[in-house]
Amino acid sequence: MKRRDLLRRTTAALAVGAAAGCLSEGDGSAGDGETTDEADGDTETSTDTETTADPGTRADETTDSETETSTDSTGSETPTIRDRGIGTYEAECLSAEDEERASVAFDDHRIDVEGAVTLPDPCHEPTLAAAEYDGDALVVTVGASSGDDAEMCTQCTAIAEYLIRIGFDEGIPSSVRVEHETTGETRTITTASP
């Protein structure tokens, strides 16, 4: 009986000592992904979270993204591009009602470009060919890339929708011009300002 009491006390003492050692390590400040609750002085919780950007893609979409820094070649101050990505929908043969389009939505440190672009055939898909400054205006160029099965593709002019998201370190461009460059020519689809 006494051995059981001794074991219980020893185990309890080790548990309390280990907990005290864990709580006393470091400077008491919360690090990356940690939150410390000191209201009652005896609890600490730690969580690791992973955040995934949601560019608005669906299951049948593909998404490419990259991070870059860019400035205007003239040396003027323009918002630096932090990251950019494109989500695309599957291409379909162009119908009489379909037409190219693009619209730009402005946020504090981000722009979204949503549109539809014509392609040589349904085996091609939209790509973010470029996002570069022309003076103070950001020019977003949508291109096209062909898939592996392009040789066996239906022969028709196609159209596909896309969503481009571009983030900036600070601010947003004073103007955005969207161009489509997919059928051997460059077409300005829209120009927008915040």
Residues with Cβ < 8 Å from 167, sequence gap 6 or more? Answer: 81, 82, 83, 84, 109, 110
- Distance, in Å, from the CA atom of 125 to the CA atom of 148, rounded to the nearest integer, reads 11
Q: Residue ranges per domain, the chain?
A: 2-46, 62-192
- Distance, in Å, from the CA atom of 55 to the CA atom of 65, rounded to the nearest integer, reads 10
The residue count of the chain comes to 194
- List per-residue pLDDT tens for the chain, 194 residues long: 444 444 444 444 444 444 444 444 444 444 444 444 444 444 443 334 333 344 444 435 545 544 444 444 344 589 999 999 999 999 999 999 999 999 999 999 999 999 999 999 999 999 999 999 999 999 999 999 987 666 788 899 999 999 999 999 999 999 999 999 998 889 999 999 99
Q: 82-112: per-residue pLDDT in tens? A: 999 999 999 999 999 999 999 999 999 999 9
What kind and span of H or E run contains 2?
A: helix 2-24
Model confidence pTM above 0.75: no
Burial class (CB in 10 A: 0-12, 13-18, 19+), 190: middle
Q: 138-147: per-residue pLDDT in tens? A: 999 999 998 7
